[in-house]
Amino acid sequence: MLYATHYEPEEFVQLISKKNLKVFERVYVLDSSIAGIVYMCKDDENLYYMDRFIPSKEKEAEFLNLDAYEIHQELYVKINLDQKMRRKEYEYKL
């Protein structure tokens, strides 16, 4: 089972350089309807991610009022649920 771990940009770059991991991206939408790109890489045990949200002009003020920890918490839940569903889909195909 992979566990999702959030990294800041500098840490993420160091991690992929050190472990030579392949980076991929996914788009996640927060409950506030603000979408963000999440860059990810994984090894045998963990899924590492770095997120970047660039809100539209209409959502910019709302985004600036969101708590960063709440964003990370919501994103963590969404990523782990997504991973669980992807594993189930893979197991179903086998």
pLDDT digits (tens, 9 = 90+) for 33-80: 999 999 999 998 899 999 988 888 999 999 999 999 999 999 999 999
Overall pTM surpassing 0.85 (yes/no): no
* pLDDT exceeds cutoff 90 at 88: no
The distance of Cα 14 from the centroid of its chain, to the nearest Å, equals 17
pLDDT > 70? residue 87: yes
Q: State the pLDDT at residue 94.
A: 57
Confidence of residue 8 (pLDDT cuts 50, 70, 90): very high
Amino acid 54: pLDDT: 85
Q: For the chain, which domains are there? A: 3-93 (3.30.720)
CA-nearest of 52, 38, 54, 55 to 4 is 38
Contact call for residues 34 and 53 (beta carbons, < 8 A): yes
3-state helix, strand, coil in the chain (%, to 5): 45, 30, 30
Q: What is the pLDDT of residues 44-55, one digit of tens each?
A: 889 999 998 888
CA distance 47 to 26: 13
